[in-house]
Structure 1
Amino acid sequence: MWKPRSSVLPLSDHDNAHLKQRSRRLARMFRSGRFLTAAVAVGCLMGFLFVWHYSLNPDNGHQVVPSGKEAVKPGAVADTSSFECTKSYDGKTPVEQYVVMIDAGSSGSRVHVYRFNNCQAMPRLMGEEFKMIDGGLSSYADDPVAAAKSLDVLLKVALDSIPENQQGCSPIAVKATAGLRKLGDKKSEIILGAVKKHLEDNYPFPVVKNGVTIMPGEEEGVYAWVTANYLLGNIGTKEDTPTVAVFDLGGGSTQIVFEPKWKDASKQLTAGDHRFELSFGGRDFVLYQHSYLGYGLNEARSKINSLATESQINGSQLPESLVHPCLPPGSSKSFEVEVPDGTASLDGPVKTTKKVLFKGSSEPSPLQCRALAEKILAKDAVCANPPCAFDGVHQPPLFEAFPSTSEMYVFSFFYDRTFPLGMPSVFTLDELRDLQNKVCKGPDAYSSFTAIRGAVDAIKEHPDWCLDLSYMLTLLRTGYDLHGSREVKIAKKINGNELGWCLGASLPLLDGVDWKCRETAG
């Protein structure tokens, strides 16, 4: 099915052991033969094994191309009526399959119900049902049963979307991200255990083996890259189509994934946790990836608010209100902030959480706000493997390693904080700075937003919108060192399907390797 490919880059014994352990985990996820072309054996002995290879040979009798139409591109969502067959391509899987994927994020939970057609060698995505709710599993830290039941409204979408006689053979997985990681191993394991039991006891869907879990950050980013490039049709064929870079900003973490392409062909990506190798559709990819835990938008707000507080208090005494450069003039908002309680331990001052009332300064302060954002990025952290982006993390410079003609997609909170204010689908970082300056100026500058339904009310209701845009701009410009003239694309969906890691994580579940149909199936 596959066999290791020798790595040309030396690794230390420690790195080798770590990467082999992760390779074994990923190999279990992508070991099924339906996603492999028999003529191609791929893998990586000392790198990351992400094997997932679709065959696109058109000479199999089960391939169905609509009459008078071209074959649908790999990522395109086809018209259901375009694919008709009485037997699936491999003769084993059903003609139609569903996968239920729940994204248990730090800001809320989301369900994706994917419908696939198996008439062709590559499963075709035919449709998706999506719903999200506010409040992640981590908000039920001390009530695991309530955490599990909080998913019921999402699971109803799955029940309503999948025919009853197919529910018992439609796998479900729940993957938690940064928010649950923060609770620690014990609490998160109890919550995930309660979720798994709730699914098995009360719902007909087969739960994927090890499918109710906290997803490692590197997989979150790579799955998002696969999703975006699959939906765009950039991967899935042997054509050397340029791929897009993805920047995903969640509540607790942020991810960057791209395929380095230097003008100097002799340059290559160095060994380390940032290097991720995968084979897909007859092509081999070497990706740069990193997941920054603690640098999602919610975490950034907390860190910036703490910095704004610490510079204005003396000891543990809090004044009635504090000035915040990241709030527009005339606005105010209360935040929960960690402040010293006046005592100390061996680790330093002991902190406690208090509610602090912040008020905007008498004049706009977008530069001072960005200065706070720069400080939390730790650009001056020790860089053991230069060059580094921020927080001491190695990253090849994007202006050198990623073609200026290739697209960069920014999504999740990047989209949620720009699109509602009328930003187009493509804009430069200089234009993002202009938006940040305008929002941070306050109501006197909001007249241009009146043509955008709901924009003015949204900004007034959430005065920390200025802080959010300031952090996003700083993350892209200073953190990732992108030029102000660099264009980025915002998107929530491509071809009608949600961006993010969920689709990329759902595709390998179609082979039934880590789940079995429930007896309740009709």
Structure 2
Amino acid sequence: MSAQREMKEKNPWPTPVTIIIIIVIGVIAIVALVTVAVLQNKSVPQKYKYGIVLDAGSSHTALYIYQWPAEKDNNTGRVEQTHSCKVKGKGISSYASEPWKAGESLKECMGEAENTVPKERAHETPLYLGATAGMRLLDIVNSSASKNVFQAVEKALQNSPFSYQGARILSGQEEGAFGWVTVNYLDDRLKQGLKTTGALDLGGASTQISFISDNFDGSESPINSVNFRLYGNDYNLYTHSFLCYGKDQVLKMVLANQTQSGATTVLDPCFHSGYNETKNYSVLYDSPCVSGRKPQEAPEKFDHIGKGNFQECQKAVKSVFNFTFCKHSRCSFNGVFQPPLQGPFGAFSAYYFVMNFLNLTDTSMPLETVKQKLSQYCGTSWDKIKRQHPTVNVKYLAEYCFSGTYILTLLTEGYDFTAETYSNIKFIKKIKGSDAGWTLGYMLNLTNMIPAEAPDSPPLPHAGYVSIVTLMTILLIGLLLFVALRIFWPRCSKKTQIV
């Protein structure tokens, strides 16, 4: 007994009960650590903020609603389109003589916006309206009418529950640049610093081309240069907008060229054979793109008769381009500087809708095959076309031959896409659920949702962080068990020897 008492007095290790208590406390502490880490980083139900942009184009107005994570408002939240609404009727510029109707036309889509954005978020949701080429043209012809239209629109938007931020006319350069931002933002090219995609936008009254070129520093044509610093990367963007070269205005220019003599009958190769409509000279020449060319002795009306010939149509379309004048080292058309094309391009808006209707969006198809298919389509009789597409608006249906021919001519003759580079074009409507167009880029710019510098990010992703904590916990538990065994094993052996 005295020997056992002497060994206990000399033994420096804690008693078994004490060791068990220490191990239990250690395990509880480790489990608590893991639980807190997991709960702290656990995803919670997402709350969103919203923004609304109205695209007041020449032919129609569209409303887009965007959302992004509320807790990531400072430069890190991904903005996505959550709803869109096409306003019934024509563009707001068409209401120049009845401006109040411009405001009235927006009510239905604004109602949809009120039903989409949560009421508690409405007062903080910014609302913008941007007008493009249609209003640019109206402002040139009648600035007071343009002002009246904007007043009517503003009155309607100010009565909404949203935070109205104003309505204005975008410059052609802004329209092109913001379209480029949208395409590359949605494709995650800006945040990741990847090679960018060029943007090709086609509307009713203007068309834009925007891309990054290694051969463009802005010095030769500063007016076509826009500089961005986004996510820590610098971009020197080439962009140009051609007013009057949207598909609707080009159609007026082509028809104007064919009616210079004041003819009462026009045989048009860009419309299907069998097409025959009586049209007014006053309506044809009501645009500033053609108003200065109206014949002096023009009759009131003319018969517009289709001929359906793609080759002749292309010649007629080419007549509205000037390929001879160029004071720069190189030009696209009408004396406008353009650097060499570079990289892939996304073609959206009317580019997509026209080519999609014609089943010609597959750019892996050889360019010559595209022309052959379009030639066959243009050569189809008007009666057959109407039978094949009974639900399509007749006005739009009649113009697809012209519009397709114009698009190919603009891309190949105007912008210099070749048989080899044509496949670099991708006709797009949406990117990851959001419409391609200038509206998202416009809102991102006004809300500063894209930082100039790359935002800081944690050293480890959530999954990696939890994995490391869990691994360290397992190692600590293993270490405690090892220590416990080292303590108890020799104690038990000694007790056995003493007995």
TM-score band by shorter chain is 0.7 to 0.9
Question: What residue in structure 1 maps to residue 330 of structure 2?
Answer: 387
Q: TM-score, normalised by structure 1?
A: 0.69
Q: Can you list the C-alpha shifts for 1:92-136, whole angstroms capped at 9, x where unaligned? A: xxx621111000000000000111114334122244200113400
Question: What residue in structure 1 maps to residue 79 of structure 2?
Answer: 125
Match of 1:181 among 133, 136, 150: 136
- Counterparts of 1:472 and 1:430, CA distance in 2: 14
Match of 1:356 among 302, 305, 329: 302
Question: What residue in structure 2 maps to residue 478 of structure 1?
Answer: 413
Contact 1:65 1:83 in 2 (8 A): no
User: Counterpart of 2:128 in 1: which secondary structure?
Assistant: strand
Question: What residue in structure 2 maps to residue 304 of structure 1?
Answer: 254
Q: 1:444 to 1:190 in 2, by over 3 A?
A: closer
What is the CA-CA distance between 1:462 and the residue it aligns to?
2.0
Question: What residue in structure 1 maps to residue 156 of structure 2?
Answer: 198
What is the CA-CA distance between 1:190 and the residue it aligns to?
1.6
What is the CA-CA distance between 1:468 and the residue it aligns to?
0.9
- Counterparts of 1:346 and 1:511, CA distance in 2: 43
- Counterparts of 1:347 and 1:249, CA distance in 2: 24
- Counterparts of 2:186 and 2:160, CA distance in 1: 30
Supply the RMSD in Å over aligned alpha carbons.
3.2
User: Counterpart of 1:285 in 2: which secondary structure?
Assistant: strand
State the aligned residue count: 395
Match of 1:99 among 32, 38, 51: 51
Match of 2:225 among 275, 280, 290: 275
Match of 1:260 among 207, 213, 218: 213
Match of 1:109 among 53, 61, 80: 61
5+ residue gaps in structure 1?
1-63, 68-81, 86-94, 513-522
Question: What residue in structure 1 maps to residue 380 of structure 2?
Answer: 442
Q: 1:335 to 1:433 in 2, by over 3 A?
A: farther
Question: What residue in structure 2 maps to residue 411 of structure 1?
Answer: 348
**More helix per residue:** 2
- Counterparts of 1:511 and 1:111, CA distance in 2: 20
- Counterparts of 1:65 and 1:225, CA distance in 2: 38
Q: 1:221 to 1:484 in 2, by over 3 A?
A: same
Output aligned runs, 1:417-428, within 5 Å: 417-427=354-364, 428=366
What is the CA-CA distance between 1:420 and the residue it aligns to?
2.2
Mean Cα displacement is larger for which, 386-395 or 494-503? Answer: 386-395
- Counterparts of 2:250 and 2:268, CA distance in 1: 15
Contact 1:172 1:205 in 2 (8 A): yes
What is the CA-CA distance between 1:166 and the residue it aligns to?
1.3
- Counterparts of 2:314 and 2:231, CA distance in 1: 43
Q: 1:145 to 1:459 in 2, by over 3 A?
A: closer
Output aligned runs, 1:22-421, within 5 Å: 84=45, 96-120=48-72, 121-133=75-87, 134-184=89-139, 185-200=143-158, 202-208=159-165, 211-237=166-192, 239=193, 241-262=194-215, 268-270=217-219, 271-310=221-260, 313=261, 316=262, 318-319=263-264, 321-337=265-281, 350=296, 354-361=300-307, 364-380=308-324, 382-398=325-341, 402=342, 406-421=343-358
- Counterparts of 2:383 and 2:340, CA distance in 1: 36
- Counterparts of 2:94 and 2:134, CA distance in 1: 9
Contact 2:63 2:109 in 1 (8 A): yes
Contact 2:210 2:238 in 1 (8 A): yes
**1:468 equivalent in alignment to 2:392:** no
**Matching residue's letter, 1:507:** L
Mean Cα displacement is larger for which, 111-120 or 272-281? Answer: 111-120
Q: TM-score, normalised by structure 2?
A: 0.72
Mean Cα displacement is larger for which, 294-303 or 325-334? Answer: 325-334
